[in-house]
């Protein structure tokens, strides 16, 4: 779903010199680069797909723990929100550990979160195990997957990101069917155990993230010292032995007792040299790691917190406010649709073809079709983006009015198609801030989306607890979404008014 991090790969691990060395690399735009696309595709299936299918587990948690819908929805929202919110901060791990290690650790943490959640005694337990642990692991595995695709592609980067992010749609469809089957056959606890085992495939995906520059950096002083020390220490030991033998010849000591004494003296000397060598090697390694962590932190801090000039861009600030309201309107149907189906007694029809799967499948086509339309020379990307937003907010308003499976299916198809504008978000952001600030600006947008995903579904559940209807939840979220769209329209309207005023003043002077 998020092609926003496609340029971050150049910022996290490599400096400007490394960017130049990437071009002649044989795997750029080909070879192992397509394995990166495959790896990222499966990461999107396992992470984003499973998160969009959490509505199935949300129903099971409501029946198991008998808590309010608002409180229960916090579990799914925490997992989704933390996955996005921690995105900019995962850059620190990528800078120090690399994409491969970060993704593998993320896969382990995500799997651990699923497994521990199977033993949950209450909803508050799920907040920690599933919301925080699984969400953090998802963020650690998701961001490297997007970064590595950006690193391996230059000419075909948009195509590669588009292909890899379609895993979200496929994953939503597959994971919804899988979780429904597992919950029906084995219960939700065993289903989470099995899903935890499936999530270990994130480690396999991480292992495929082979760095472009596997060789060691000869300019790194730490690397030089680590290589020089053993050779120097070995020579010292050899020279010590040679001095012992020279003294033996000069002194004319030929008896066996003297030889034994000399050998006994050489052994402690060699052991002492080995200890010193190991101590120095450890010291140099710690020093090198400290310098690397410090450099990584400085790059991370300057990349995400040294961009105050972005906030002087009024349109970008309006875009942030839009992102705060937009993503929750896309997430809420995934979380609450399964229960709405139960309230309307449509479970049998929904079991044949889940409504969330309709959103996921049409979402794939929406991303491709909207992208093709936006690339037409006679059509503005902004117009396509705004039209898709208006279609989505209109669908959110209409959804509570539908009480039949056919009506809900049509609205879900509209939601899935119009939400394909996510593929246009990097283009819109680039138009606002420029290519040089795209990565940093989009990191802020992703955080705003994460906050929206974190607060949206619990808010909808809280409104239901008060009104005993989901209608007001969708109406209020639709209104908030409309406010976000209005933020996008304020600056263009001001610009149009200023242009009209200038024309009027020019005409008055004439």
Q: Are residues 313 and 196 in the same domain?
A: no
Q: How many CA atoms lie within 13 A of 355 on its CB side?
A: 32
Q: Which of 189, 212, 235 is the last residue of a domain?
A: 212
> Tens digit of pLDDT for each residue in 101-143?
889 999 999 999 999 999 998 999 999 999 999 999 998 898 8
Q: Are residues 207 and 311 in the same domain?
A: no
Query: Residue 468 is encoded by which pair of tokens?
Result: 């005993």
Q: Are residues 202 and 316 in the same domain?
A: no
Structural domain count of the chain: 2
The C-alpha atoms of residue 69 and residue 302 are separated, in whole angstroms, by 41
Q: Are residues 460 and 333 in the same domain?
A: yes
What percent of the chain clears pLDDT 70, i.e. is strictly above it?
Answer: 74
Three-state secondary structure call for residue 32:
coil
Q: Are residues 313 and 207 in the same domain?
A: no
Closest alpha carbon to 50 in 159, 245, 249, 192: 192
> Tens digit of pLDDT for each residue in 433-445?
775 666 567 767 8
Q: Which residue has the tokens 């989901």?
A: 470
Question: For residue 196, what pLDDT is reported?
Answer: 93
Q: Are residues 338 and 477 in the same domain?
A: yes
Write down the mean pLDDT value for the chain: 75
Highest mean pLDDT among 156-165, 306-315, 399-408, 460-469: 399-408
Residue 268 is assigned to a structural domain of this protein: no
Q: Which of 212, 243, 265 is the last residue of a domain?
A: 212
186 CA to centre of own chain: 30
Residue 330 is assigned to a structural domain of this protein: yes
Classify the C-alpha dihedral 132-331-165-405 as positive or negative.
positive
Domain span at residue 116 reads 25-212
For 391, other C-beta atoms within 10 Å of its C-beta total 17
Three-state secondary structure call for residue 365:
helix
pLDDT band per the 50, 70, 90 thresholds, residue 78: confident
Q: Are residues 208 and 337 in the same domain?
A: no
CATH number, domain with residue 421: 1.20.1250.20
DSSP secondary structure letter of residue 374: H
Question: For residue 6, what pLDDT is reported?
Answer: 36
Q: Which long-range CB contacts under 8 A does 227-234 form with residues at least 24 apart?
A: 229/277, 229/280, 229/281, 229/284, 230/277, 230/281, 233/273, 233/274, 233/276, 233/277, 233/280
Residue 199 is assigned to a structural domain of this protein: yes
The C-alpha atoms of residue 324 and residue 75 are separated, in whole angstroms, by 19
Closest alpha carbon to 230 in 176, 299, 280, 178: 280
Q: Are residues 322 and 202 in the same domain?
A: no
pLDDT at 51 over 50: yes
Residue 399 is assigned to a structural domain of this protein: yes
The C-alpha atoms of residue 133 and residue 499 are separated, in whole angstroms, by 52
Q: Which of 172, 197, 212 is the last residue of a domain?
A: 212
Question: For residue 300, what pLDDT is reported?
Answer: 58
Torsion angle, CA of 342/416/113/187, rounded to 10 degrees? 30
């Amino acid at each position: 779903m998020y092609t926003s991090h496609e340029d971050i790969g150049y910022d996290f691990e490599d400096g400007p010199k490394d960017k130049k060395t990437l071009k002649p690399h044989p795997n750029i735009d080909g070879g192992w680069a397509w394995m990166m696309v495959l790896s990222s595709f499966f990461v999107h299936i396992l992470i984003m797909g499973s998160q969009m299918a959490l509505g199935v587990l949300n129903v099971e948690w409501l029946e198991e723990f008998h808590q309010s819908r608002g409180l229960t929805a916090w579990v799914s929202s925490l997992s989704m929100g933390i996955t996005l919110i921690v995105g900019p901060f995962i850059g620190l791990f990528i800078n120090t550990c690399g994409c491969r290690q970060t993704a593998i650790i993320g896969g382990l943490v995500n799997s651990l979160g699923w497994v521990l959640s199977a033993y949950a005694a209450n909803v508050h337990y799920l907040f920690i195990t599933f919301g925080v642990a699984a969400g953090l692991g998802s963020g650690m595995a998701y961001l490297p997957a997007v970064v590595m695709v950006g690193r391996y592609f230059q000419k075909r980067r948009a195509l590669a990101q588009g292909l890899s992010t379609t895993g979200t749609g496929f994953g939503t469809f597959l994971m919804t069917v899988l979780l429904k089957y597992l919950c029906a056959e084995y219960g939700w606890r065993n289903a989470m155990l099995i899903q935890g085992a499936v999530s270990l495939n994130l480690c396999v995906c991480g292992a495929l993230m082979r760095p472009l520059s596997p060789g060691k950096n000869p300019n790194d002083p730490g690397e030089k010292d680590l290589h020089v020390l053993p050779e120097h220490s070995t020579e010292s030991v050899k020279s010590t032995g040679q001095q012992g033998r020279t003294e033996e010849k000069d002194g004319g000591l030929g008896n066996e007792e003297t030889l034994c004494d000399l050998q006994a003296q050489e052994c402690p000397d060699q052991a002492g040299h080995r200890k010193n060598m190991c101590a120095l090697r450890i010291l140099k390694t710690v020093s090198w790691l400290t310098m690397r962590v410090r450099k990584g932190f400085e790059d991370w801090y300057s990349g995400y917190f040294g961009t105050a000039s972005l906030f002087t861009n009024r349109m970008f600030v309006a875009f942030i406010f839009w992102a705060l309201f937009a993503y929750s309107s896309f997430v809420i149907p995934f979380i609450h649709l399964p229960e709405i189906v139960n309230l309307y007694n449509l479970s049998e029809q929904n079991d044949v073809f889940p409504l969330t799967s309709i959103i996921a499948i049409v979402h794939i086509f929406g991303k491709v079709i909207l992208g093709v339309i936006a690339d037409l020379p006679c059509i503005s990307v902004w117009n396509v983006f705004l039209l898709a937003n208006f279609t989505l907010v209109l669908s959110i308003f209409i959804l509570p009015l539908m009480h039949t499976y056919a009506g809900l299916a049509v609205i879900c198809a509209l939601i899935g198609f119009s939400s394909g504008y996510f593929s246009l978000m990097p283009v819109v952001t680039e138009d606002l801030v420029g290519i040089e600030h795209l990565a940093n600006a989009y990191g802020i947008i992703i955080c705003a989306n994460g906050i929206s995903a974190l607060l949206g579904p619990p808010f909808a559940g809280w409104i239901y607890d008060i009104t005993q209807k989901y209608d007001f939840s969708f109406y209020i979220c639709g209104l908030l979404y409309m406010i976000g769209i209005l933020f996008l329209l304020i600056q263009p309207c001001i610009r149009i008014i200023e242009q009209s005023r200038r024309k009027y003043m020019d005409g008055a002077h004439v």
